[in-house]
Amino acid sequence: MHKPKPDDRSNNAERIENTIGHTLQNMDEARDFLKAHSEELSEEEKRNIEEKNARRAESIDGMREEIKDEVAHQQRYE
């Protein structure tokens, strides 16, 4: 019988920060795409891209809260 691995949270904040960076990059690319191809896109396609960016922004807010939790956890257990 194997013992469960301990929960290694030591790099969680860093991983979340990387994910935020990638998400921000995706948002920028989507905005650039909209600007460059706005005339070629239907209103529905534009709305879908804008809604996806809105969901990304909400996700970033949640990830920033997770970082706060991770930092607090690390400070408690250092």
User: If DSSP codes are grouped into helix, strand and coil, which group holds residue 42?
Assistant: coil
pLDDT at 75: 84
pLDDT at position 7 is 65
- b vs e for 49-69, b when ≥16 Cβ sit within 10 Å of the residue's Cβ? beeebeebeeebeebeeebee
How large is the average pLDDT for residues 4-26?
Answer: 87
From residue 64, give the alpha-carbon distance in Å to each of 57, 61, 69.
11, 5, 9
What does the mean pLDDT of the chain come to?
Answer: 91
Give me the pLDDT at residue 1, please.
63
